[in-house]
Amino acid sequence: MPVETKLRHRAPRGGSGRFKIKQNTIASQQADLLRLVRARDGLSRVELARSLNLAPSTVGIYVGHLVEEGYLFEGKTAARDFGRPPTILALNPQGGRFIGVDFEARNIMAVAVDFSQRPLKEFHDTIALADSVENILRKIEHAIETVGADDSRKVLGIGVGVPGVIDPARGIALNYKHIKGWSNVPLVSRLAARFGVPVFLENNVRTMALAELWFGQGRGLRNFICLGVRSGVGAGIVIDRQLHHGADNRAGEIGDWPCLLATGNGAGGSRPGRAFVRLEDMASFQSVQNWLPVPARPKPNLLVAPGTEVPVEALLEAAKAGDKTVLGILDRAAQTFGLALNQLNCAFNPEKIILAGVLTSFGDLFLRRLEKSLETFSPPSGLPPVVNSNLGSFNGALGAAALAVHEWKPVPH
């Protein structure tokens, strides 16, 4: 083959590569533009150009494309004392939808939001102890289908809050000890093939922190910690408004932190014994269940047969009625968390600590105990405010949807 013919065959490859790089750059810049509009209401083209350090003409082209595609619309004109008043840009709720899924050992929560992140539909399903990994994956797919039904707007992306350790780069859930057989599960490839949209993975406690950052108690803060308590325990750490992942995406995996437990008499009954146990064994919802006595105790609404679980509603009712067993368990959990949160406070110096998950159901009954415990262990410099999440049980799913919203990129033309 002549040299000039070879060059003609090679040229499109280089051109195609450069074209793809340019397209990816444009998509990233348009995504940054949309994030700014989400974060700050009432932005004009000029303000966007200044914030993004782009030429006003470039921003004008991007805005024109995003308006044409239905992602933005031009809203009211801002008041100004002189000159031509700027037109304000806003998100178009009809631009599409995003779906968030959050699950752990017992529950699957899913939510759909519109392009402006307004919740549209919620769905809850349960996970049985006997469910296989395949059954759980099918339930996750069913949850996505359910919240995605009955709406003509296109689903643009799916975010998944996954318990345990993940590899977001490869889209794999690595392991989670509370689900039998949950190891190296290729969630992203499976869900992307099933639904034909981008899928984004994150640890589920970090999605709870994302929900607090964008919608809840962390809104407007730069640094905070979200403590998630479910079957296990984890911490979502936000630093400078960014999730902290750590070197191997294990930041916040505090369930294995050692706690000192008094065990009664030591050898020969001469002195109290002590043993180290994991934080999850002392203060997760599963540990609360394990600390409950066997069926011999007198409270009929709290009898626990082997292999069964007392609903949180029954525990709350008993606590409000002054049940000493349940209140004692709350005291123990608060004491344990007080020490753990004090260590997190010393390490990260957050503006606020947000409690999310099942223990928020106890309201001030648990929060007062936790605050008292924190005061016991606090350094002289003091502690940040400690509050309950106000986003409810779908906070992790809402955060997973927010993850999809903020990772998604429009396709430039």
Contact of 238 with 225, CB cutoff 8 Å? yes
Strand partners, 387: 354
Q: Where are the beta strands (DSSP E) in 240-338?
A: 242-243, 258-265, 272-278
The continuous run of DSSP H or E covering 238 comes out as strand 233-239
pLDDT of residue 300: 44
Residue 258 reports pLDDT greater than 90: no
Q: 313 vs 20, 236, 280, 301, 361, CA distance in Å?
A: 54, 26, 21, 11, 8
**Which pair of structure tokens corresponds to residue 211?**
């929900």
pLDDT of residue 267: 47
In the chain, the percentage of residues whose pLDDT exceeds 90 is 56
pLDDT at 330 over 70: yes
| Gap between the Cα atoms of 372 and 166, Å rounded | 35
Runs of H (alpha helix) within 149-203:
187-195
pTM value is 0.83
Q: Is residue 262 pLDDT above 60, yes or no?
A: no
pLDDT at 103: 95
Kindly tell me the sign of the dihedral angle through the C-alpha atoms of 283, 288, 293, 298.
Answer: positive
pLDDT reading at 81 higher than 60: no
As a whole number, mean pLDDT of residues 19-36 equals 86
Q: Quote the Cα angle for 172-175-178, to 5°.
A: 135
In order of their start, the domains of the chain are: 24-91 (1.10.10.10), 96-216+396-407 (3.30.420.40), 237-390 (3.30.420.40)
Residue with tokens 């599963």: 286
Whose CA is closest to 122, among 348, 340, 317, 394? 394
Residue 290 in this model has a pLDDT that exceeds 80: no
Residue range 384-404, pLDDT digits in tens: 999 999 999 999 999 999 999
- Torsion angle defined by CA atoms of residues 354, 355, 361 and 365, in that order, rounded to the nearest 10 degrees: -90
Q: Out of 230-239, 253-262, 381-390, which region has the weakest mean confidence (pLDDT)? A: 253-262
* pLDDT of res. 277: 81
Buried/exposed 112-138: b ≥16 CB within 10 Å, e otherwise: bbbbebebbbbbeeebeeebeeeebbe
Mean pLDDT score across all residues of the chain: 85
3-state DSSP assignment of residue 387 = strand
What is the structure's pLDDT at 264?
54
Instruction: State how far the Cα of 200 lies from the Cα of 400, in Å rounded to an integer.
Output: 8
